[in-house]
Structure formats: C-alpha cells, structure tokens
A and B are shown apart, each in its own frame.
Chain A
C-alpha cells in the first residue's frame, strides 16, 4: 500500500453547491437490479455443499429451572449429525423461548423431528411478563433516584395551567423479515467461515472468538445482503455460537440456523416499553414552566432503557423519576433510535394536552416555547413552518374535538425529534488499477439504506467518473474494518472514509501524470472521465491514459474516518405532522396524510434519503396503530409470535405521505449526517396527538387500537387539568 500524501485538512471538504454532479441528486440504488430479480443473496439464501440444518428446542416457560434433559431419541435418529445441550439441568430459564437444546440434521424435517423427540422436565417458577403496573413487579422493579432541575415546586405554584396525564407505549418487536441466523462451517480445525445476517460485519469475529476459543483473525464473516436489522442484529447471538459448535461436532460440515418466525418475535429483538405519569405547567400565555414525570418500562431481564425526559424541550424546572422493570420476556435490543420514540410520545402528548387546556393551537404553543429546544431552535422553526404549509395546518386544524356531524372525526397532530448521527469509524481501501478500473473495499454492510450506493456516488463524484466504473465491495470481514450500522452512523462514516481515500488517490495520480501535461499536480482536476489542467481543456488526457502511467502496480489508498477535515456532523432536527380520521363508532383510526420535514446535513443520495423517511413514517404508523408484543401473564408466553396477530402496516394503511428534506445553506455545510433513526421517532406522538385532536380525548397508550380508542371515548380521556 502506498502511503497517502497529507494535504492540509482544509482540502478534505465536500464539493461546493453547484459543483456536485452526483451528490444530492436523485439516484437509483446500485443493487436495485439484484434485489428486484431475486438474485441478491441473503444469509437465508446461502446454500453450502454438505450443509446441515440446525434447529433449537426452546423453553415453553417464562421462568423455570431445568430438571432433566433426555436427547437419546434424537441422537439415534437417522440423519441427525449433532446434538448439543445449550443449557443443562439445574439452569434457571428467564423467558419463554430461551434456547435449551440444538440439533443439526441432513434436512429440515429431520431436524424438526429430532427436536420433537427431546424430553425436558422443568420446575416451573413464578413469572412476571406484564409491565403496565410497577407495583406488581415487586423486587423486579428497580427505581432510580429522583432527579430535580431548578425549583419544580415553586414553578408549579407559579403555573396558571397544569395538566396531568398518563401515556405509554408497549414492547414491540423488530420483526425483521429475514430472521436472525447464520451458516457456520469449519474450513479446517482452526478456521471458521460464517455467513451471517448482521449489522456488524467487522465486529462479529471478535464476538465469536472468545466463546469458541480461537483468534478473531481465524473467523471470516461474509454477508452480501441483509433482510432488515433495525438495531437487533449486532451480535452473533447464542445460536451463532451454537451453530459453530454443531458444525465442529459434525466434522466441520456447514450448519445453517435461521430462526423460525415465532422464535424471531419471541427472542430476537424487542423495543423496551415506556409508560409515564406526566404533569406539566405553564403560564396562561403558554410559557412552559415545569415538568414532573414518574416513568417506568421494561426491556426484559436487562430492564430496558430510560427515555430522555422531557424530550427536546429543556423545561427550566423538572422533577423526574424512572423505574426499570425486569420481567420474564425476551431481552430488549436497540430498536431504531433507542429511547427516543418513547420520550417523544411521553413529552409531545403531555405538551399537546397542555396546549389544548390552554386553548392554544399546539403549533403556536411549540413556536412560543421553541427557544427551549436550544441550538436547533431555528431549524425547528423553519421545519414547523414548512410542515404546516405541506399539511395545511392553518386550514384544517381545529380546537380539540372535531365538532362536525357524523361518526368520522378528523384531527391534526404534530411532534418534533432529534438524533445524533455522526459518522462512525470506517476504513476504506480504494484501488485504481493501471487499466483504469476502480475498486473499493470496506467491511461495512448495506442494511437497505443505500450504503453501497452512497459509497459509489462519493467515489464517482470525487474521481470524475461515471458510477458504473466504480466497483464497491462490502460485507466481508477480510476487508478494512468499518463500524457497525447502528445509530445512523454508517453514511457519515463510509462517505467520509471514501471521500478521503478518493482525494488522496487522486493526489497521487495527479503527481504521476502532471509532467506529461506539463503542469503542477495541484493544477489538475478529474472531470468527466478525464484528467486535465483546470481552466485549460486543451491540456488533458483520458482517465485510462492517466491510469496507465501507474506502471505495473495498482494504486491502493486507505481512507479513514475520523480524519482530517470536516466531512461528517451530528445533531439533526425533524418535524412530523399527521392528519387522521377516527370512526368514533368503531374506534378505527385511519391515516389521511403525514408530512415529514427532516434535516440530515449534506445529503448524498436524495432518492434513498427520502426512502428512509417514507419508510420510517410507515414503521411509525405501524407502532402507532398496530404493533404490540402481547404477553399473557397466565402462561408467560407471547400470544402473537406470528404475522397474523403481530400486525405490520400494509400498503393500504399508510395514507398519503410527503417528505421534505432540508438542504442548502445552513444544512449542507454541516457535513454528512445519518438518517436511519430520526424520522421514526415522531410518528407515534404525532398520530396520538392527531387522534386526541380528532376525538377530543387522549388515548393514553399506543398502539391506538379500536378497543383503546373506544375505551378512551367512554372514559373521556387519560388526562385531567387544574387551573
């Protein structure tokens, strides 16, 4: 590898507006043809010679101790190649669906038969799987110390209007369409090859090394495409280690374990619940004075997260206390924008209730208090105005409770959100071959966000080449390490590393060709497939002619993030508004229209950026209206570990959606910032607020199912006010 030159940091910049040929344009994803034709290979599609199928016997009980395990019938079964007890007699089990025994067999039906033949005796222990009442949790409730900011007692004394309400959202699951899983095979005694559905190609080897007792460098991880992760696929998981063990027991034959749908929903990812009793106070003119919250939630035995309350609005006087409930459900995992959708609902719903009590339009109320949002106040102000125009807020908004005749009530609601999104650590090797071809290697992964496309755009833009001249290779741990795809950090990381690699490579290429053009390297530019002297079109040569001057050796340059120059940033603002109709006779909520106005710094690909926002709104409509991991306290089991009753939003459920990306001065110069998390934060709150505006009462808990809507109408809402 050639050592890069070291230009001054000022040279590592993005092209100025007006000089961007590809960046920020609306470009189709480069792996689109592979995906629409069925040729894109996912982990679930990997088929290796001699491959065995692994299956796992799971605990039917939420809390139990294993008394005995009898695997003798399975071991004798023809076609069964390995049986591995994962948790043996005496082990305490903490959730239904936990792994007990694994088998590997020549085909799936045989593996299923083997699992069925295993006999396990359990001592059943008391369990808790519900989370709506912290009092019932006993020792499993872990309260944190009360936090006080300012003087909440005095502020509530001062407040002219105070509302109190209860709000919450249940545990939901990730429900990745491609379930978790892998194919593990020993290439020899010491080396393991793993095809795995993961958000973290570079960090899987290290996570598998210790349990398997081999160096991380002996583990190679590959993944071309992933069928969804959303925060749930950073670990090899216990079944990943088990697959490697089964493979070893079977003489190194590849073992494929992909979770069945029920296991996927029971154990492979859940978003923590959050509930809270919230009290907020303001002056009559709408000036926010005081916040008080008692909140709780669960993320299984891990206890879950703690929503940052109050969300975004730094109310000067606060008292808040949170209790983590540890209960017997499959463990929580990061779910797009961890803790933010929960904090957003608990805050934005309480503020909207307060605005309603004040008799204020919530848009005016938010604008009145916008300074409390801190350094992004101006972004929110701009976004609120744009969103209001796009949804027709001033025309369609009415005070709480649609007074029109008939059972269909229409309402508007809004919410605002924020997220970090600075680019993660990333290494990129960019190679220019003497024949002019260009290849880029990163051990990154494309979750469907358009990572391959973003890398291609940046390299093509920088090198002055068409996109089809750039070959991007990701998804192999043998490539230079790149960060896990979580927390909206990927696009900032890979685009910055690629930009630095391409700029350095160009510098070195310029040095090789400058003499032939009778110019200094710093006077050259790469545009439209040629390298030439800036401002003098007569002195140039084709890209191929230039690359031929590299001689026999390809030029490889390593680009890194973080690194010199300001290429990625952090901290975005977004606003969403929802227009809903509610049938007060049936309780059914319909989305008429939703608007997302979002900032994410410099946008690499407008088309896939917009897709992130549309997709996040749709996922948000799902958890606002339909999704809930329903746990049965009697049996300790999940009642809906399937896709009939764990409901996702369908194509007909999402209404009209509008996305507006903030670009231009004030946004582009902040650098590239990630977008996966922010737009999924606001939908629950915006839709809940719109429903309250429509029917005149608050439905306290998501999802806003017909029974909850009818119950709220019957009870006349979940909040009350004092003046």
Chain B
C-alpha cells in the first residue's frame, strides 16, 4: 500500500518515499539548508526535514518556489504546488509512465523523483512542449493518428516519445516497440502511437496511419 501501514499495528515494509530517502538517488546538492548530517554505513548522509523546506525548481524555463516536505515527489510538487497537471499520477511507483517528464533532457518518472532532488535540473513537462502556442510535431502526430482515447496516458506518452525521438531520430518499428515499453495505455491506443512516432520522425507522411 502506498505510504500506508496496516492500522492493526503490524510491521509495514519500507515505503517508497522512505526508500527514496535512503537509496542514494539524491546525488545532486540540494539548495535547501536546513539539514543535519548522520553517518550511515560509514558514509555521511544529509537528512532534510521532516518539516517543510524551501524548494526551487526550474520548470519549462521558469522558476517555481514552494515550501515542501522533503518526502514530496516531483510529481506532487508539479501537480499540487504548481498546478502543472499535465503529468498524471497513475501507478505512483515508477511503472506506468503517465508522469513522464524530462529532467535535463532525459525522461524520468516524476513520481519516483523527490522534489528536493529535482532542484538545479532543467525540467520539461508536456506543458513546455508547445512553442509559441503551436503544437509540437509529436503532439500534431498524436492528433492525426488518433493516438489517444481517454487521454490520461497521453501527456506521459507524448513526453516519452519526445525523449525517444531525440535519442532515436530514425527509429524502426522494432525500436519503437522496445523504446516505448515504459508507458501503459488502458484504452489501447498503441497503434496510433506507433504511427504517430513514425509520422513525427518524418518517416511517414501525415494523415491516418492504419487505413
């Protein structure tokens, strides 16, 4: 259960946030100051919180600041503190990809990064892909190929496709099948997504993919 111990007093396993806090995922130096240092397994570890600390994030080229508990994830900060709700919360533990954002150009699951660890990184969300009000070619291709139904997975998929095409500008269908395996869709829009990626890569002219 998510951050949720059985109430009958039996021992709970390590929660995801507790894991994140001690797993060494926080390699960058946070800009917050109210921490203490303890020694764990011979190494010095900075401990933040448990109270709120100031957090500054660079998102889509703008600076956002909030006071957040260190256990708050990047996804929660984006959605609840900054009201950037394009990235969606679905599995909330790094499986489904609906919360995919770019951190320094690389795709990450925002549910599995702590907000304090995302400081001094350049974060791009789906809201940041449009250019002067114009849709990104990947977004255009998603519309043309109906690569969405309910649309809840769509922002995560669009961002994942952006990262995938940045790395693989001329993908084969096999590359697409492997490279976009980190996102799930429940409505079943994969045919449209495959076609959209090909269209966006310039390998297929616009219009419907599978007719």
List A residues at the B interface (Cβ < 8 Å).
26, 28-29, 31-42, 44-45, 47, 57, 60, 100, 107-109, 112, 115-116, 118-122, 175-179, 225-228, 230, 258, 260-262, 447-449, 607-608, 610-612, 614-619, 641-644, 648-652, 654, 657-659
Contact = CB atoms under 8 A, between A and B. Distances in A.
A659 B211 CA distance: 9
Interface of B: 1-9, 69, 71-72, 76, 79-80, 83-93, 95-96, 98, 125-127, 129-130, 135, 139, 142-144, 146, 148-155, 158, 176-178, 180-181, 183-194, 208, 210-211
A228 B186 contact: yes
Contacts of A121: 8
A33 B143 contact: yes
A177 B210 contact: no
A449 B8 contact: no
Chain B interface, DSSP helix/strand/loop, else mixed = loop
B7 A227 contact: no
A447 B150 contact: yes
Contact of B80 (A47, A177, A614): A47
B8 to A, nearest CB: 6
A228 B150 contact: yes
Given A35-B155, A614-B190, 14 more contacts: A29-B148, A31-B151, A33-B143, A36-B139, A37-B86, A37-B139, A39-B86, A100-B7, A175-B186, A261-B93, A607-B146, A619-B188, A642-B93, A651-B194
Contact of A177 (B2, B79, B139, B150): B150
Given A607-B146, A651-B180, A651-B183, A120 B7 contact: yes
B184 A650 contact: yes
B142 to A, nearest CB: 5
15 contacts: A28-B144, A36-B143, A37-B129, A40-B151, A177-B150, A226-B150, A227-B150, A261-B2, A448-B148, A448-B150, A448-B151, A614-B189, A619-B188, A643-B90, A649-B188
Nearest to B98: A177
A606 to B, nearest CB: 8
B111 to A, nearest CB: 10
A176 B149 CA distance: 12
A26 B151 contact: no
Contacts of A447: 149-150
B191 A614 contact: yes
Contacts of B210: 610, 614, 657-659
List the 10 closest A-B pairs by CB distance, nearest first: A38-B86, A618-B188, A227-B152, A448-B150, A615-B188, A35-B151, A448-B149, A652-B177, A45-B85, A32-B143
A614 B125 contact: no
Contacts of A60: 6-8
Contact of A619 (B9, B150, B186): B186
Nearest to A450: B149
A615 B125 contact: no
Given A262-B2, A610-B210, A615-B189, A642 B95 contact: yes
B184 A643 contact: yes
Given A28-B144, A57-B7, A651-B183, A261 B92 contact: yes
Given A60-B6, A112-B4, A177-B90, A650 B181 contact: yes
Nearest to A618: B188
A436 to B, nearest CB: 26
Given A37-B135, A60-B6, A643 B149 contact: no
A260 B1 CA distance: 8
Contacts of A614: 188-192, 210
Nearest to B158: A36
A28 B143 contact: yes
Contacts of B191: 614, 618, 654, 657
A98 to B, nearest CB: 13
A35 B148 contact: yes
Nearest to B83: A47
Contacts of B150: 177-178, 225-228, 447-448
Contacts of B177: 651-652
Contacts of A612: 149
Contacts of A607: 146, 208
Nearest to A38: B86
